[in-house]
A and B are shown apart, each in its own frame.
Chain A
């Protein structure tokens, strides 16, 4: 494939907030196990899934993300005992609100991925990237001022 062709192809930008203790280590395992996940996924390491403020998600969309996924320890396995339980409630309500405002609900997702689940990490990211690819560009929550910066 020539460079010109690569440029034209739609490349989604996916932001993955990964909890330091489980999902980030899961991504590591995926790497050491030679499992691939799309390069469109940009990982941001957070101490815990409950560190993810709803504003982070909106900011990601503002700055050009087409999908946001939050990955944390399985409920009950949180390094801080209960962080992901709080995150689960918050994200449920936030996603429901985004859906209520008419924003495609498939653009946001929460997955529980442990440090031992390299395979799950890889399949989840592949599947999510595919969904976002099908949805196309994020138009409903875009900020045109930021689009200029991306060029």
Chain B
């Protein structure tokens, strides 16, 4: 059985050799084994390219800058990354002609924190075994765990195992496990709470925010050249919060700015150093959009109009919010 990384390197090597592309964007080792970082490789550097269970990072946002450069780039995109890629193409942020998309297979990515919670420490490297097992090499010897037990939040509710944009595919042909979890379960649970319980829940979560801006910087939909929060007068510019209002405002506006464009790629929650469940804010918007304006998956294509840049004369009135859920 050929491993997917070998297929990727073989295909990338060929495309670099025949001049179709002149560089590749993928992942290389980060500071620790479990935090591979997106990186650009030219011909001859491919031995540093890695792709394994820790490569959860979505590289599509890097293409905004990369497609402004000369030449064509080979992008290694997992199925969920292709949704973000489509959305960027739709918004004219990425020049489709300058990207060669190699869709790579993904069985779901591992969350280092969940592996640690299982008591596995001192991780040196990781291997995917056939089936659902992960072989973890640690300084204390080899350990195994089930991939399903350590999946990232975004992979627990995987949208799809099929690429919605690709020029070529790198697949091993193995069957990919389906995601069992309902992604709106937690949102629905929160909706059933009383407003005060919800307020307490979000206070508990958002008060941990250190305004590191990681959620904003990693988000493929958050790609404005000048962000509203970079304005000194915004009162929430990259500093520790002086008032709870700032946390609320930052997170409401961050989520609102990507409403209708968020593909639910889950990067915001993955990178949050404080483990704030930011995807719950995005999914609330997605759930509302689905309920009010019909099912919509951002990034599923590059032509349809987003729900907030579209309307119908008989949309629901804002007063519908008053009628939903329990009484105040």
Q: Which A residues have a C-beta under 8 Å from some C-beta of B?
A: 54-55, 58, 61-62, 75-76, 82, 85-86, 88-106, 108-110, 140-145
Known: A92-B318, A105-B322, A143-B246. 20 other contacts (CB 8 A): A54-B252, A54-B253, A55-B253, A62-B245, A75-B313, A76-B313, A86-B309, A89-B292, A89-B307, A89-B311, A90-B308, A92-B321, A93-B292, A96-B284, A97-B281, A97-B288, A100-B187, A105-B328, A140-B199, A145-B242
In the assembled complex, the CB of B271 is this many whole angstroms from the nearest CB of chain A, namely: 22
In the assembled complex, the CB of B131 is this many whole angstroms from the nearest CB of chain A, namely: 39
Find chain A residues with CB under 8 A from B252 CB. Answer: 54, 58, 94, 97-98, 101
In the assembled complex, the CB of A68 is this many whole angstroms from the nearest CB of chain B, namely: 12
Complex Cα spacing A115 to B5, Å: 66
B284 engages A92 (CB within 8 Å): no
- B190 within 8 Å of A (CB atoms): yes
Find chain B residues with CB under 8 A from A101 CB. Answer: 198-199, 202, 248, 252
With A97-B284, A109-B318 as given contacts, are A89 and B243 in contact (CB-CB < 8 Å)? Answer: no
Report 26 cross-chain contacts, Cβ distance below 8 Å, ordered by A residue: A54-B252, A55-B249, A62-B245, A85-B313, A86-B308, A86-B309, A86-B311, A89-B293, A92-B320, A92-B321, A93-B256, A93-B289, A95-B318, A96-B321, A97-B284, A97-B285, A98-B252, A100-B187, A100-B191, A100-B284, A102-B195, A103-B199, A105-B195, A106-B328, A141-B245, A143-B245
Q: Which 8 A-B pairs have the closest CB atoms?
A: A102-B199, A102-B198, A85-B311, A143-B245, A110-B318, A95-B321, A92-B318, A91-B318
Complex Cα spacing A124 to B317, Å: 16
Find chain B residues with CB under 8 A from A142 CB. Answer: 245
Find chain A residues with CB under 8 A from B191 CB. Answer: 100
- B325 within 8 Å of A (CB atoms): yes
Q: Which B residues have a C-beta under 8 Å from some C-beta of A?
A: 187, 190-191, 195-202, 228, 235, 242-243, 245-246, 248-249, 252-253, 255-256, 259, 281, 284-285, 288-289, 292-293, 307-309, 311-313, 315-322, 324-325, 328
Nearest-CB residue, chain B, relative to A58: B249
Nearest-CB residue, chain B, relative to A92: B318
Complex Cα spacing A95 to B199, Å: 14
Find chain B residues with CB under 8 A from A91 CB. Answer: 318
Complex Cα spacing A104 to B190, Å: 15
Find chain A residues with CB under 8 A from B228 CB. Answer: 55
B311 engages A102 (CB within 8 Å): no
Complex Cα spacing A102 to B199, Å: 4
Q: Which of B315, B321, B328 has the most CB of A within 10 A?
A: B321
Find chain B residues with CB under 8 A from A82 CB. Answer: 311
Nearest-CB residue, chain B, relative to A94: B256
Q: Which of A76, A86, A105 has the most CB of B within 10 A?
A: A105
Complex Cα spacing A144 to B245, Å: 8
B315 engages A85 (CB within 8 Å): yes
A105 engages B243 (CB within 8 Å): no
Complex Cα spacing A75 to B317, Å: 10
Nearest-CB residue, chain B, relative to A145: B243
In the assembled complex, the CB of A1 is this many whole angstroms from the nearest CB of chain B, namely: 32
Partner of A102, one of B200, B246, B249, B312: B200
Nearest-CB residue, chain A, relative to B195: A102
Complex Cα spacing A61 to B281, Å: 20
Find chain A residues with CB under 8 A from B245 CB. Answer: 61-62, 141-144
Find chain B residues with CB under 8 A from A104 CB. Answer: 195, 328
Find chain B residues with CB under 8 A from A98 CB. Answer: 252
Nearest-CB residue, chain A, relative to B289: A93
Find chain A residues with CB under 8 A from B322 CB. Answer: 105-106
In the assembled complex, the CB of B43 is this many whole angstroms from the nearest CB of chain A, namely: 47
B255 engages A97 (CB within 8 Å): yes
Nearest-CB residue, chain A, relative to B249: A58
Complex Cα spacing A109 to B320, Å: 11
Find chain A residues with CB under 8 A from B317 CB. Answer: 88, 92, 110
Partner of B325, one of A54, A94, A95, A99: A99
In the assembled complex, the CB of A85 is this many whole angstroms from the nearest CB of chain B, namely: 4
Find chain A residues with CB under 8 A from B200 CB. Answer: 102
Complex Cα spacing A30 to B180, Å: 57
Complex Cα spacing A18 to B309, Å: 22
